[in-house]
């Protein structure tokens, strides 16, 4: 919990001390856990909050945070019985970069650290490449891969959702 408060305080101080012109972004996504995560989770949701600065006409960079929740699955072991897997939650704290490849089409990535929230989850390196399509000046459709390198593997999710620009 101390790590979470520390990273949240750093994020807030960083965003509030910035003087350059930028834009707040907020998004919500649903996702499918894959790989190791798919063996133990059925569905995931993610909420993102970020602040991006316009570096050039086609390139934005900034910071992002959010919340990711993967819902645990009941695993059936046949004659040995079954057990329930706990939900898995992360709070990513990352740097963001977005590049406009064509009008209304953006490629980007978030890189940082995902703080593990649930018991036994220490978190790990966070990476999220993404593609965005602008359907209006303030609304984008986003498809992303979200990965967290954890001890013994990775926790990977493919998500689709909506992101809003907040002026």
Q: Residue 165: its pLDDT value, please?
A: 93
Question: Please, which residues have CB within 8 angstroms of residue 78's CB and are 6 or more apart in sequence?
Answer: none
Tell me: pLDDT of 151 over 90: no
Question: What are the tens digits of pLDDT across the range 46-66?
Answer: 999 999 999 999 999 999 999
pLDDT given at position 16 = 47
Burial 138-150 (b: 16+ CB within 10 A, else e): eebebebbbbbbb
Query: What is the distance, to the nearest Å, from the Cα of residue 30 to the centroid of all Cα atoms in its chain?
Result: 11
> pTM of the full predicted structure?
0.83
Domain range summary for the chain, segments of one domain joined by +: 2-15+38-75+84-166
CA distance linking residue 76 with residue 81, whole number of Å: 6
Q: Are 107 and 88 in contact (CB under 8 A)?
A: no
Place of tokens 């009941």: 74
As a whole number of angstroms, the distance between CA 75 and CA 113 comes to 29
Residue 20 has pLDDT above 60, yes or no: no
Query: Which of 144, 137, 142 is CA-nearest to residue 163?
Result: 142
In this predicted structure, the answer to whether residue 40 has a pLDDT above a threshold of 90 is no
> Could you report the per-residue pLDDT of 127-143, keeping only the tens digit for each?
999 999 999 989 999 99
Confidence of residue 77 (pLDDT cuts 50, 70, 90): confident
- pLDDT value at position 111? 98
Q: Which fold has domain 2-15+38-75+84-166?
A: Porin (2.40.160)
Residues 158, 146: Cα–Cα separation, whole Å: 6
């Amino acid at each position: 919990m101390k790590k979470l408060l520390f990273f949240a305080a750093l994020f807030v101080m960083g965003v509030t001390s910035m003087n350059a012109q930028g834009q707040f972004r907020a998004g919500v996504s649903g996702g499918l856990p894959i790989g190791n995560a798919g063996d133990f989770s059925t569905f995931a949701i993610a909420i993102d909050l970020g602040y991006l600065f316009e570096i050039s006409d086609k390139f934005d960079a900034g910071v992002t945070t959010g919340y990711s929740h993967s819902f645990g699955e009941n695993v059936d072991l046949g004659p040995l019985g079954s057990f329930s897997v706990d939900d898995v939650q992360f709070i990513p704290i990352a740097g963001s970069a977005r590049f406009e490849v064509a009008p209304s089409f953006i490629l980007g990535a978030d890189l940082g650290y995902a703080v593990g929230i649930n018991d036994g989850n220490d978190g790990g390196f966070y990476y999220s490449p993404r593609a965005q399509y602008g359907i209006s000046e303030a609304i984008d459709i986003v498809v992303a891969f979200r990965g967290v390198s954890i001890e013994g593997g990775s926790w990977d999710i493919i998500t689709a959702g909506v992101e809003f620009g907040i002026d």
